[in-house]
């Protein structure tokens, strides 16, 4: 049986994929699992960032060796070439802390994803695009790519664009706990008192919903 690990940061990124799958929660992580006679699919999210993605991968691996790994989820646009609300199969992933590049397996796309240790604002997006020739930015993919490389297993990365290059959003880094979990209540209170952020947040919410659906469709196309 082929065990497939699907790593995301937030449950909303996985929602269209795992709809109807049995769900469990342990050690602060969410898990969904589905299987048939040939394949076992395990999806997990532990929060944003490299450490959270590493924990999620290790938890899946605790149930047995992983044969194929995927990093999926929302990403920010670094160029105007990528469209909000749409998912892209990445050509590869760059760890901006180390400069390491991890190429995805055959059949991947043309755009590269820069994995950053923080949520990138508009200024940081432009710096990343220039420094790494990347088109998307996330916070987890490089961890999954590195673990896959260490184990010699295939790696794919599918990212859906939640925010455009020039979108002016609040500093989400303020609401990420040390374990990578997003402090939703704290953020909601912050946003309620700052209505000038509402239009951008509404757009981001709609883009994220569309992106999650597009990720699910891209995953089926890639592995179906």
Question: Distance of CA 46 to CAs 8, 81, 105, 170, 196, Å?
Answer: 8, 30, 25, 22, 31
Cα distance between residue 29 and residue 210, in whole Å: 24
Cα distance between residue 119 and residue 8, in whole Å: 15
Number of domains in the chain: 1
Question: In terms of residue numbers, what domain contains 90?
Answer: 2-223
Residue 123 has what pLDDT?
A: 94
224 pLDDT above the threshold of 70: no
Residue 1 has what pLDDT?
A: 78
Q: Do the beta carbons of residue 131 and residue 78 sit within 8 Å?
A: no
Q: Read off the pLDDT of each residue in 182-203 and give the average, rounded to a whole number.
A: 96
Condensed to tens digits (0 to 9), the pLDDT of residues 145-173 reads 999 999 999 999 999 999 999 999 999 99
CATH of the domain at 160: 3.40.50.1580
Would you place residue 175 in the very low, low, confident or very high pLDDT band (cuts 50, 70, 90)? Answer: very high
Q: Under 8 Å CB-to-CB from 163, ≥6 apart: which residues?
A: 76, 77, 84, 169, 204, 207
């Amino acid at each position: 049986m082929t065990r497939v690990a699907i790593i995301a940061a937030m449950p909303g990124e996985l929602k269209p994929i795992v709809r109807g799958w049995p769900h469990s929660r342990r050690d602060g992580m969410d898990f969904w699992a589905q299987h048939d006679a040939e394949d076992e699919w395990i999806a997990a999210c532990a929060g944003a960032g490299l450490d959270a993605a590493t924990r999620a991968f290790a938890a899946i691996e605790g149930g047995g060796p992983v044969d194929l790994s995927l990093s999926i989820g929302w990403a920010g646009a670094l160029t105007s070439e990528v469209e909000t609300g749409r998912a892209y199969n990445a050509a590869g992933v760059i760890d901006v802390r180390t400069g390491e590049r991890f190429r995805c397996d055959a059949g991947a796309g043309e755009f590269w994803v820069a994995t950053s240790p923080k949520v990138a604002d508009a200024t940081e997006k432009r710096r990343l695009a220039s420094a790494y020739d990347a088109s998307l930015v996330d916070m987890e993919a490089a961890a999954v790519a590195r673990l896959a490389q260490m184990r010699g297993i295939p790696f794919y990365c599918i990212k859906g664009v939640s925010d455009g290059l020039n979108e002016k959003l609040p500093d989400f880094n303020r609401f990420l706990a040390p374990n990578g979990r997003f402090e939703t209540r704290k953020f909601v209170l912050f946003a309620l008192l700052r209505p000038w952020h509402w239009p951008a947040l509404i757009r981001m919410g709609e883009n994220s919903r569309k992106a999650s659906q597009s990720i699910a469709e891209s995953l089926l196309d890639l592995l179906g």
